Amino acid sequence: MSDRSTPRPLDAIDWPPAWPRVLDAEFGSPTEGDYRARPEDFLVEEALDFVPEGEGEHLWLHVEKRDLTTVMVVRELARLCDVSPRVVGYSGMKDRVAVTRQWLSVQLPGRQAPEGLDEALAERGVRVLEMTRHPRKLKRGVHRSNRFRLRLTGPVVADDGLAARWEHLLERGVANYFGPQRFGPEGRNLQRARSLLARGWRKRDDRGGMLLSAARSFLFNELLAERIREDSWGRLLPGEVVNLDGSASQFRLETPDAELEARAVRLDLHPTGVLWGVDGSPAEGGPQACEARLAERFPGLCAGLEAAGVRPGRRPLRLRLTDARLERGDGELWLAFTLPRGAFATAVLRELMVHPTL
């Protein structure tokens, strides 16, 4: 681990980044379009792998929120229940300009829900769909997936090539970029992270690890972009660490054989990329060399994350779209699909249309 007192370089980071689309090589640049003109154009529903038990000291609420961040709902729920926001749990952060459904929990040992809680939340744009109990707090990242239904408008609706691009995504998968919301408006979260890591990160500097997450997400996107330019983002290379689709299972391949390569074509296996941390990468060969080049290009971010003691992780380079549909209406187009937790719907949209926020 690097010495936290050692000054680190201030990496040169251009914004917005020129991360390539996968489909441009075959179809050219997509057409301009609009999405999320109103919250009802962006519908998200969170899916858990389990159901609450119906008893316990934690009150669980299945809610539908409109034009609110998850954090805003957490604070309001804590206020109405007269508890600290720290005892309110949620699995995933959901978009603000959207209509989203997710579970929240609030610790109320020996207490009933405040009278009129659902009505008070409704006045603030939060509809309670269900209330029940569970012995434990809802923890971050325990949901299985998110179901999206998105309305597109503008020139993209009349794009003759859109259907072909959509079918290609269904057959070949989607590049698993972190979405622009991870980096803040105009990349400000990333620029703050760059400066913070250059001088040395401390826990008091970053509530919730937001800036560390922005730095790791940027490095991952840079790695994915290089693999796309090499046309290796969906292929299994010797020394690759692969992810079994729909699970957390990962293992390294010494030399991919024909059967494993066929499974990759079927989207059953995906190459992975490093989420930078202190202990290096288990990848070998070409994949490891590609990851090592991140430290050469962005020494400040990489050394700063190591000095901060961030644990490494891995993320699939590719996503499979499930339960996917494309529906055309009068001057509009609706996309419906399910993504695993941690994936961004904007990664799908940027392959299909041009928009300033993508």
Q: Active-site residue 34, yes or no?
A: no
- Judging by DSSP bridges, how do beta strands 353-354 and 31-32 pair with one another? parallel
The total number of residues written for the chain in this structure? 358
Take residue 354 and report the two structure tokens written for it. 């041009």
Check residue 187 and give left, alpha or beta (phi > 0: left; psi -120 to 50: alpha): left
**The pair of three-digit structure tokens given for residue 339, joined into one six-digit string:** 């993504």
Furthest C-alpha separation in the chain: 62
Nearest to 219 by CA among 152, 290, 144: 290
E strand intervals along the chain? 31-32, 34-35, 42-48, 58-66, 88-90, 99-107, 126-134, 143-153, 174-175, 241-244, 250-252, 269-275, 313-316, 318-319, 322-329, 332-340, 353-354
For residue 254, the tally of other CB atoms under 10 A from its CB is 10
b/e 199-226 (16+ beta carbons within 10 angstroms → b): ebbeeeebeeeebbbbbbbbbbbbbbbb
Beta strands (DSSP E) in 168-207 are 174-175
Catalytic residue among 11, 14, 34, 95: 95
Residues assigned a catalytic role: 95
